[in-house]
Amino acid sequence: MKKMLLNISLFEIGWLVCVLGGNTYAIAYTLVALVLHYRLVMNNPLEWKLLAAVVAVGCLWDWTMVMVGVIHYGEAGSFGIPIWLVCLWLLFATTFMHCLLWLRRYLWLVPVLAAVLGPITYWAGTALTDAELAAPLYQSLGVMALGWAVLFPFAVIYAGKLDNEYASKQQDDRAQARSAAV
């Protein structure tokens, strides 16, 4: 339970730091948060694969939304999105194998939650940054809802797959150690 609380706290504080602090603070906080996550929360080395996948897909999704005009970031970096948003995706990715892992038991709920909560976070973020959602607002939020409803479940499923894969490997290693001791 302590690990889950630390995990969600690191993400929620990170959301505020990234959105309010901009690129420099986002990079500094994300590096510290990743070290803390690695040392105090992470228990599955396969999680690095998940982090890479979520960051890549998330950044591609945000870049696509910029390219089609759904959202505009005033301080877009060379990726077409701000660095603080890349940091935010990395922080978000750390939640899938910890405080969000319970979602894999309720896969029917995942697209619903994603379709509602994903766009809300963008809408809240635009109130705190120089980002702007395209008008009419309902269309921008609708596109985001659709994307989140499709992409978020894949991350939840992939996290569960990696979690099961690691658990199976640990079980196999224990079985081999027992048979070697005999």
pLDDT in tens, 36-78: 999 999 999 999 999 999 999 999 999 999 999 999 988 777 6
Cα angle 103-142-147, degrees, rounded to a multiple of 5? 45
Q: Which domain holds residue 90?
A: 2-181
Task: Give pLDDT, residue 171.
Answer: 76
Long-range contacts: 116-124, Cβ < 8 Å, 24+?
A: 116/145, 117/148, 118/144, 118/145, 118/147, 118/148, 118/149, 118/152, 119/144, 119/145, 119/148, 121/15, 122/71
Please tell me the distance from the alpha carbon of residue 107 to that of residue 13, in angstroms, as a whole number. Answer: 27
Residue with tokens 């658990």: 167
The number of domains in the chain is: 1
pLDDT in tens, 14-42: 999 999 999 999 999 999 999 999 999 99
Q: What is the reported pTM?
A: 0.90
